[in-house]
Structure 1
Amino acid sequence: MKKVGIITGIKRIGFHIAKELLEDSWSLAVIYLSSEKEVERLKEYGEVLGIKADLSERDSYKAIVQKTFDVFGSIDAFIHLASPYFSTPLESLTEEDVKKHFLPIAEAFLFISKECAPYMLRNEHHIKGRIIAFGDWATNTTPYKNYSAYFLAKGALHTAIKVLAKELAPHILVNGIALGPTLKPPDFSQEKWNSYIEKTPLKREVSIKDVVELTKFLLRVESMTGEIINLDSGRHISGECS
């Protein structure tokens, strides 16, 4: 029987993860807001249910999970990558800035996980479901300046991983991956990106292959929960960010 997953955030890193899982015979519900092209490309690799949803809208959470179950008949995994990322200098920070980060990053993760859990618990075997969230290496070490809303949301996400791991044990495993520089954002100059890479001890961006393989490991692991793994080319040991 095919495994079924829900994945949010498929424009960049999520696309590579989704492609690999589809090639491994998973069926996926892919949640998107403006990534129609990526959804259509993913359909070339396997069974894909595209669900357009704004994760800033609380009404979307339950509908996403229900539609996935209605179409595929089961849910084995939830992978959360959706993450707005834009500068919010403290002097101009607004409540709207906080909401635009917190709702899709942290609140959506919490409530989609909550909605997934009852369906996962219907599955056979002792481990009935796995949940993975993507955080940020700097959240627990040295958050950098002018991204206060982003880091507040990621901090809540990291806490939610641990909270849900305890709440959903022993049958559902919840873990996180705290990424460092992985794929150059389209709005970054090559010079700016190179400066990020130079701050890593390994002097290289995080391999997308490593991201995919670690995700697949967490979808197989049976004795790890509540863990947040740094995958950042060693960036977390390099010291303070600017």
Structure 2
Amino acid sequence: MTGGSAERGGNASARPGRPNHPARPVALVTGGGVRVGRAIALGLAEDGYDLVVHYHTSAAGAREVAEAADQLGTRAHPVQADLSQEHEAVRLARTTAEHFGRLDLLVNSASTFAADDLLAVTADKWDAVMAVNLRAPFLLVRETAKLLTASRGSVVNIVDLAALQPWTGHPAHSVSKAALLHLTRVAARRLAPEVRVNAIAPGAVLVPAHFSEADIERVRARVPLGRIGDPADVVGAVRFLAGAG
């Protein structure tokens, strides 16, 4: 875990002194500094959202998102938090409320992706995956429910295909995403009709950096369209579910 020096107290790009546009929606995107979460954050900035960009270790990426949002005329406030820790997840939600005073969209995109074997994974490793992939989204929904209800907002959980398929090489990840999908259903019923809660299960998007060309080709061969997905595909789905486009 990296220290979150500036981001714990604020960020120059966020410009707290600039008044928030009364009609401008606010989104909290976890894991917003890298990969799909970054693409979602940038897409929402293009749609006119002010942002809370959560990151764990990707400080540079979160700052780049904030700078891009500033160029688009919106505000982005990077916040560092280790979502494996309950108090950090709660702090993230409360920072959002304190900084912007409203929340229209919560995107739970942050996750861990540790490979392991079901018969070898330790309880500590299992719990660490569940804390980030499942418990943190629960805590953020719980802590932001009042703000989302007030704005008649939306929650979008990124669950990926592991929620629907038994990934034996990533057992904790697969189980956590299946549980997050069911949490989505439970939260949707509990928060209706004021708040909509949905999930997106992308296929192969931005394959892991350690994949070889053979690995990538094997994944591509299983996709009916014959191509690896693009983050823009996920951004479009988030926009649709959030009512932003």
Residue 4 (str. 1) matches residue 26 (str. 2): yes
In 1, are the aligned partners of 2:66 and 2:78 still within 8 Å (CA)? Answer: no
Following the alignment from structure 1 to structure 2, what is the Cα–Cα distance between the partners of residues 55 and 209?
Answer: 25
Specify which structure has the higher proportion of helix.
Answer: 2
What secondary structure does 1:56 align onto?
coil
In 1: Cα distance, 2:51 partner to 2:117 partner: 37
Are 1:183 and 2:206 counterparts? yes
Q: Which letter does structure 2 place at the counterpart of 1:161? A: T
Structure 1, gaps ≥5 residues long? 222-242
Tell me how far 1:20 sits from its aligned partner. 1.3
Whole-angstrom distance in 2 between the partners of 1:43 and 1:138: 30
1:112 partnered with 2:140 = yes
Over aligned residues, Cα RMSD in angstroms?
1.3
Equivalent position to 1:153, from 147, 170, 176 = 176
1:61-140 correspondence to structure 2 within 5 Å: 61-123=89-151, 128-140=152-164
TM-score, normalised relative to structure 2:
0.85
Give the CA deviation at 1:191.
Answer: 1.8
Superposition deviation, residue 55 in structure 1: 0.5
Pairing 1:59–2:87 present: yes
Q: Which amino acid aligns with 1:196?
A: V
Count of aligned pairs:
216
Partner of 1:234: none
**Corresponding residue for 1:236?**
none
Using the TM superposition, give the Cα deviation of residue 44 of structure 1 relative to its aligned residue in structure 2, in angstroms. Answer: 1.9
Matched residues in 1 for 2:196 and 2:184: separation? Answer: 10
**Residue by residue, what CA displacement relative to the aligned partner does 1:183-230 show, whole Å, maximum 9, x if unpaired?**
121121222122111111221112322211111000118xxxxxxxxx
Instruction: Name which of 28, 40, 54 aligns with 1:31.
Output: 54
1:203 matched to 2:226? The reply is: yes
Q: What amino acid is aligned across from residue 87 of structure 2 in structure 1?
A: D
- The runs of 4+ residues in structure 1 deviating greater than 3 Å are none
Instruction: Flag structure 2 segments of 5+ consecutive residues without an equivalent.
Output: 1-22, 70-74
Q: CA deviation at 1:122?
A: 2.3
Identical aligned pairs, as a percentage?
28
